[in-house]
Amino acid sequence: MKNSLLSTINNPADLRQLDEAQLPQVAQELRNFIIDIVSVKEGHLGASLGVVELTIALHYVFDTPNDLLVWDVGHQAYGHKILTGRRENFHTNRQLGGISGFPKRSESIYDAFGVGHSSTSISAALGMAIASNLKGDYDKQHIAVIGDASIASGMAFEGLNHAGVTNANLLVILNDNAIGIDPSVGALKKYLTAVKEGKNPRQNNMIKSLNFDYSGPIDGHDIFAVIKELKRLQKVKGPKFLHVITTKGKGLQQAEENQVKYHAPGKFDAATGELHIKSEANLPPKYQDVFGLTLLDLARKNEKIIGITPAMPSGSSLKFMMDELPERAFDVGIAEQHAVTLAAGMATQGMIVFCNIYSTFLQRAYDQVIHDVALQNLPVIFCLDRAGLVGEDGATHHGVFDLAYLRCIPNMIIYAPMNEIGLQNILYTAQLGLNHPISIRYPRGRGVIGEWQVKNFGNYNKIKIGTAVCLQKGSKVAVLSNGTIGNNVTLAIAKQQHPETIAHYDFSFVKPLDEKLLHMIFTSFENVITIEDGVIKGGFGSAILEFASSNNYTSKIKTLGIPDEFIEHGTVGELQQYCKIDVKSLEMLFSNF
């Protein structure tokens, strides 16, 4: 058996001491290392396996960290982390107190730019390259590694457009594997496929037209070919573009054959690649499936319903509608701004548009929400998946800002269901016709109702906009909850010695608020607690404080939610505990009344 080379590499300087002929062995060991850890600890698998050779080649050729390497999104950066001093603690990846699942500037000098959302690498690396020129450092290299799904985003094109008229020492590497999380879509994907297959005349090269020195496509798994081309490009000045062809999941058969499933597969057998199947019998449904199945059912009955998602058909469960009604369900690629304004355009023509975007990604389309939808009072139905704390993806992905950033927008209705029935009923209500846009937020993961589909599917009830519900009467303190975090309140009250002292109200509507019920609460209770799975500043609790202030109520109000800091990664339970919105923390708080 060969001696381990990977165990001798503590940083890229160690890697560069090796003979080039030894690098295929490093690649095999690195691939095995990633598979062994991720199979047990979970995380993003396929993307990192696909760029093993490219990662090694980049650190072998370039003088990192002096040369600056920017990974787009960061799903593919596990190999990079392992080669840059984090091999020994890679097993803590995405765990509370462990290393981040994404590149992060505060974690390592080799992480030149923090990422998590897509399509930022070209702009960031270009900014670094222009800064180097201004400082008189014309030899420093600046490399952006971006995937074919990410480069289709508008921001990536903005970066390319600017870079092409500069003399910046920038190398853009297109990691082309024809897939993001779901398969890549759109005209650019067809163009890249034609280039790969040699069907596109070289004089038609759109990258060259943007004043880039284009080379490729080359086989991204031929480490010697990649190194040779990187060394050549190292000597070329100005903006350069290298087209590299890779296979997502390379080296693990199942990951190559089922690239969607093995993007982040959960636990699996490292030797065989077989997934460890968890029994889902009698479990409550995922909120994503409640959305997807309900929307499909409504769309069958209402021909005006449209579904839109930016690159997340599987994750959002819009895939159900895309498979059955493909002419009315659209994956627009990583293009959140386009998704929102596309929805607005359709809404002007009387279509009922469900625009499904993860909460953290809607941040990227904030201007479009205000300018193109709310200002024109178009009844677009925003379905904000992954709202609240999302767990191991951490600070870049927590959907905790939407209540605050949407609440200040005129015309916007905001609703967060407490359970699956609330979600299906608001979807039903929205498609009946609203006079305003609405944002419906719900979390990642499972609901609370076992056999929801058997018991409740299709039994729709119209919800009156702006109404709250008393779940339990009480004598001493009123707890006002918004969304699914209210289930923690219910459980905590049930554990009290004197549960009759705690009143619980479900304020699913953050906007408009049920002011009639609020007047009753503030005239009846001296102590009011608000709780939300979102930031405290500007969110639901702030809305209650504003109401109390404007009406001169003097009750004591305690707001619970996400504190004014970026919350790191960990399980949802651990992070709720940190924010003191878990069942045990609430139980202790309620016992004081």
Joined tokens for residue 303: 């021909």
Whether the Cβ atoms of residue 354 and residue 379 lie closer than 8 Å to each other = no
CA distances from 300 to 354, 356, 381, 398, 459 (A): 14, 18, 17, 33, 15
Neighbours of 591 (CB within 10 A): 14
In order, the DSSP letters of 101-123 are: SS--TTT-TT--S--SSSS-HHH
The span from the CA of 578 to the CA of 486, in Å, is: 17
CA atoms within 13 A on the CB side of 406: 33
Q: What are 414's strand-pairing partners?
A: 439, 511
How far is Cα of residue 418 from the mean position of the Cα atoms in its chain? Answer: 22
The backbone torsions φ and ψ at residue 199, rounded to the nearest 5 degrees and listed phi first, read -95, -5
Q: Where are the alpha helices (DSSP H) in 531-571?
A: 540-550
**CA proximity to 401, closest of 581, 259, 527, 534:** 534
Assign 3-state DSSP to the chain and report helix, strand, coil percentages, each to 5: 45, 15, 40
The span from the CA of 256 to the CA of 27, in Å, is: 17
Residue type, 583: V
Whether the Cβ atoms of residue 311 and residue 153 lie closer than 8 Å to each other = no
The span from the CA of 523 to the CA of 502, in Å, is: 16
Is 364 catalytic? The answer is: yes
Is 257 catalytic? The answer is: no
Joined tokens for residue 55: 């990662």
Find the Cα–Cα–Cα–Cα dihedral 99, 104, 107, 112, rounded to 10°. Answer: 140
Strand intervals (E) in 300-448: 305-309, 329-331, 352-358, 381-385, 413-415, 438-441
The span from the CA of 505 to the CA of 518, in Å, is: 10
DSSP designation for 500: G
Please state at what angle helix 223-234 crosses helix 23-41, rounded to 10 degrees: 110
**CA proximity to 16, closest of 244, 231, 298, 281:** 231
Query: Which is catalytic among the residues 81, 248, 407, 446?
Result: 248
Is 441 catalytic? The answer is: no
The span from the CA of 388 to the CA of 398, in Å, is: 6
Q: How many helices (H) and strands (E) does the chain have?
A: 25, 17
CA distances from 419 to 93, 272, 407 (A): 31, 38, 21
Query: Which is catalytic among the residues 31, 364, 386, 444?
Result: 364
Catalytic sites, residue numbers: 248, 336, 364
